Structure 1
């Protein structure tokens, strides 16, 4: 892959076209360190005071690894390679002194990097970048779409953690224009004039109407395949509605389902029900398009984010992939809340959904997906 720097690709349109092609990645390369080698000694995040943002809990619920290898983390990642790195711009109202910090998710520690930039707002701004080498090591030329999706998932994990801790409306930046960072989340400190609302209240348009609990966020994991069992219509509608609200204006959403009426379903215009968009069994084709993952053909349903035409420019590509990762992460949490098994699916080749449905080719590609089922793999293996 051509780069000016390994973490900033040149010609993202050409990079995406190659990633969508049937060309297979070559031999693997070393992934390098699972976390960035931050300078200066690590320090623990102090406990929050009464008027502070609980930064320790925010990071624990969103980014911190829960095992020694660093593979198990709250945000999904292709191949569990976790390429996303986080710098924290800390202002007033936090338990850490104001400054810029690098976060180590394996040790749940921060490294002081220097003073904060001018006009750093109160609270914390988490800036997300990637170390591309980690994902390139396994996926080769297919890595960059996955890097963007992973960044969207990490952004959503921070957003949901902030909501679970009572933040009213965290500011999310996924516009796809800045050279660095790829994405950012700002969380303000608690406002003493407004008490924290209990979980369960209504919140903003980027998410569903359910504020997650810390327990829900700690329990989320990608379910290993198989994922059999067609989700009930109310659960599938809720998952689609969450994705549509969170996915920005460039993406469209549908779901491939099996019996009793195999085909593609989508939300009605008012979002209150499901309607059939196309008839016929789509899941075997999706299994081929998803890097040949045969288990997808037997998944109960597959939520699909699609759009991003072949002639999209770099900001459009970045924006749609970041939003797709963000929305699928929120849809994943909704699926788990409805008792479903769920697993994100990020690598798609020759997945021109529009052309497959009879529209002009090159206009409507699958960007991301979430496989869904009603029975988990361990349950299936005991029946």
Structure 2
């Protein structure tokens, strides 16, 4: 698969064709399934980790903690389990609908204590609805799943997970390694790892289980302190891979970004951008009325495949963390992943093809259900 050509086509105005069958919602792992056992006092609780990050909350498979384009959830998870976990050491495939695992074989020699979740995708699920626009969405979804695992580990007190989003491999696309309770995983870290900072404070289990993408509309301009917090989370978590700004409406419409001090909002551009963003975001008209839209931008037109993978994985990861920050400030929020002709740099007068929108997060002070009751 030529990822460079796939991204160029996904960014074009070409519309996807009719829907096709999505296929099974879970990869057909071999062998019998088994529940994840309860954890001992000294074990990493894999049952709780997966429940807080990837498990479906109903039989449809649509309600999962990690956001996914079209609720299609294409991300598949293999667990490489070492000592100190609630599963015996080995390699397992995870079924998020049953919340069970399938043993696939032995763990590789030298597997350290703890678990590494390796994330790959079944592209057919997302292609079934989005067609040629699927590949950027598959990468964003993988980044969201990595962030869900990262936050779940933090909520369980498992220390600082190592997150691999380097974009070098086609499969697995990403990996999250979590230490056993005995301490930090020994040995060399994963290549290309980064230890991103989570939203301020450690999330609770209840907070993570309550994550949902709010349905539109999402009206109401967020206050400056909430916008600063969301932008600061994005800046910390994106490891310098992307730039971030937020489009706001009245009374002073424009694009805001963090100043060099990391705490002050500065105005990057003046004028109403949200209708244009709505047109670029697959024509989702409700975005024009959203209170604000957080934008991740970068990934030039001449980026190679590792660069494309790396920036999209990082964008999904970061927007997931920004979503949690937004909810902590009482905002409604909804990720926006499909963007066409969204050359933000060119729209602001810079050279074309250098600064494309990669991901977004619509924000509002009032949720759709609140709007319907007023």
TM-score by structure 1 length?
Answer: 0.94
1:91 lines up with 2:52 in the alignment: no
Q: Which moved more, 1:128-137 or 1:270-279?
A: 270-279
Q: Do the aligned partners of 1:51 and 1:192 also contact (CA within 8 Å) in 2?
A: no
Does residue 178 in structure 1 map to residue 197 in structure 2? Answer: no
Answer yes or no: is the 8 Å Cα contact 2:120–2:173 preserved in 1: yes
Number of aligned residue pairs: 364
CA deviation map 1:334-354 (0-9, x unaligned)? 000110000000000000000
Gaps of at least 5 residues in structure 2 are 185-194
How far apart are the structure 1 equivalents of 2:106 and 2:287? Answer: 48
Identify which of 53, 60, 65 aligns with 1:69. 60
- Tell me which residue corresponds to 1:52: 43
- What does residue 348 of structure 1 align with? 339
* Counterpart residue number, 2:234: 243
Q: Do the aligned partners of 2:115 and 2:177 also contact (CA within 8 Å) in 1?
A: yes
Contact 1:76-1:153 at 8 Å conserved across structures? yes
Say if 1:25 and 1:192 are closer, same or farther in 2 by CA, change over 3 A.
closer
- C-alpha distance in 1, partners of 2:143/2:241? 15
Please give the per-residue CA displacement for 1:160-207, whole angstroms capped at 9, x wherever unaligned.
Answer: 0000000211010000002320000001111279xxxxxxxxxx6432
Match of 1:197? none
SS across alignment from 2:120: strand
The CA distance in 2 between the partners of 1:205 and 1:128, in whole Å, is 18
Match of 1:157 in 2: 148
Q: Given that residues 139 and 316 in structure 2 are in contact (C-alpha distance below 8 angstroms), is that contact kept between their aligned partners in structure 1?
A: yes
Q: Does 1:132 align with 2:102?
A: no
CA distance in 1 between counterparts of 2:170 and 2:136 reads 16
Is structure 2 residue 149 aligned with structure 1 residue 146?
A: no
| 2:201 aligned to which of 187, 190, 210 | 210
Q: Cα offset for 1:248? A: 2.2
Q: Report Cα offsets for 1:262-312 as digits up to 9, x if no partner.
A: 000000111111111000000000000000000000000000000000000
Q: Residues 300-319 of structure 1 correspond to what in structure 2 (within 5 A)?
A: 300-319=291-310
Corresponding residue to 2:250 among 235, 243, 259:
259
Distance 1:178 1:353 in 2: 28
CA contact (8 A) 1:352 1:366 kept: yes
* Cα root mean square deviation, aligned: 1.0
- The residue matched to 2:94 in structure 1 has which SS? strand
Q: Tell me by how many angstroms 1:364 deviates.
A: 0.2
Q: Find out whether 1:14 has 2:5 as its counterpart.
A: yes
* SS state at 2:325 partner: helix
Q: Deviations over 1:359-383 (max 9, x none)?
A: 0000000000000000010101111
- 1:295 aligns to what? 286
How far residue 121 of structure 1 moved from its aligned partner, in angstroms, is 1.2
* Alpha-carbon separation, structure 2, partners of 1:29 and 1:246: 36
Distance in 2 between residues matched to 1:208 and 1:63, nearest whole Å: 19
Deviation at 1:250, TM superposition (A): 2.0
State the Cα deviation string for residues 71-91 of structure 1 (Å, max 9, x = none). 000000000000000000010
Distance 1:210 1:357 in 2: 36
The runs of at least 4 aligned residues of structure 1 exceeding 3 Å deviation read none
Q: Which residue of 1 aligns with 2:191?
A: none
| Deviation for aligned residue 1:214 | 0.7
Q: How many Å apart are 1:95 and its aligned residue?
A: 1.3
Which position in structure 1 is the counterpart of 2:272? 281
Is the Cα–Cα contact under 8 Å of residues 49 and 156 in structure 2 kept in the other structure?
Answer: yes
- Secondary structure of 1:149's partner? helix
- State the partner residue of 2:192: none
Question: Is the partner of 1:366 in helix, strand or coil?
Answer: strand
Distance 2:321 2:210 in 1: 14
* d(CA) in 1 for partners of 2:82, 2:339: 40
Whole-Å separation in 1 of the counterparts to 2:10 and 2:51 = 33
Q: Which consecutive unaligned segments of at least 5 residues does structure 1 have?
A: 1-9, 194-203
Q: Shift in Å at residue 211 of structure 1?
A: 1.1
